Amino acid sequence: MGPLNGLKVVELAGLAPAPFATTVLADLGADVVRVDRAKPGFDVLTFPNDPLSRSRRWIGVDTKNPEGRDVVLRLVEDADVLIEGFRPGVTERLGIGPSDCLARNPRLVYGRITGWGQDGPLAQAAGHDINYIGLAGALEPIGREGERPVPPLNLLADFGGGGMLLAMGVLAALVERSVSGRGQVVDAAMVAGSALLTAGLHGLRNIGMWSRGRGRNMLDGGAPFYDTYETSDGKYVAVGAIEERFWGDLCKVLELDPESVAERLNPERWAAVREVLAARIRTKTRDEWTALAEGTDACLTPVLDTTEAAAHPHNVARETFVSLDGHTQPAPAPKFSRTVPETPKAPVEPRSSTTDVLTELGYAPAEIDRLRTNGVVA
């Protein structure tokens, strides 16, 4: 059983960041009940075998109906955590905001995630990952020299600085609760989380090691020893030979003349060194270079797509991916020596657990039928 076995979580259905936070908790053993609309809506993206829907039960409730609100509050009474990702003030208007829920359960950890935060000039503005990382200073450094910034998918704000940060905040609040006995609200803002992810960049700038423009620094593709290169088969390898001994191994693997790549730490020489590396790496396929680099510290690895990543021997040995109903997806992480999480459960049909969950809450069959007839529940 995972380390969060016995933890009860209520999730108010939403888009990527909040479901990801809940998936992290569910993967580690938490018992999650997702509360969705009683009827399908367009503000919650659902599809079969979605990793962001796995390992939880799923009920449908009309939270705008007073009786639907009461269903959520009854769930909260016995829960440890509530996760929501609406705009500020929405759950308050529905009667299931922090004060409503904590009045029912003072030990509840109420986790909420937004792009801009619960307050501030932009709190009520719409936005997406690209907007949040733009304001946080996390987007501007990403891209090639002389070109526009490139969005790194929606990994930085939605998932890294968003959902993962919320999960960490919830766990921190649970640790504190074990001492105080009291719950609290966790306000995770994706702008703040994205800014936090740039801590190392700020450190480099503070000491003058990140003073050149976009795409001209050591870790942004500016340095030839930290970049990707095309191979003869049109695929790519990643090179990260920063330290001198790793660079030495890379030169041996590539059979480079040391003179041709001399002064590789001098930015004025980066273009020339890159040209030598690119020409040499284009002479073999990605997998040929990968094989030659194995067993060395050349820091040369293949750039894999998601299908290839799941089949790579290292990921297979580490069980980095799992198959649910024949569909591959990332496995729970990190690993634990004693409380080993179970294999995630495939997503259930939307709203299919409504009757079972309501029965557990003490609703009689006739009452459930009445609520369903009146459209209060799915």
Q: What is the CA 118 to chain-centroid distance, rounded?
A: 21
Is residue 278 within 8 A of residue 229, CB to CB? The reply is yes
CA pair distance 112, 307, nearest whole angstrom: 33
Check if 158 is active-site: yes
CA pair distance 45, 51, nearest whole angstrom: 12
Token pair 């905040």 is found at 169
Check if 327 is active-site: no
Is residue 44 within 8 A of residue 111, CB to CB? The reply is no
* List 27, 80, 129, 158, catalytic entry: 158
CA pair distance 105, 10, nearest whole angstrom: 13
| Phi and psi angles of residue 146, each rounded to the nearest 5 degrees, phi first | 80, 0
Which residues sit opposite 77 in a β-bridge? none
* List 70, 128, 297, 312, catalytic entry: 128
Cis? peptide before 302, omega within 30° of 0: no
Active-site annotation, residues = 128, 158
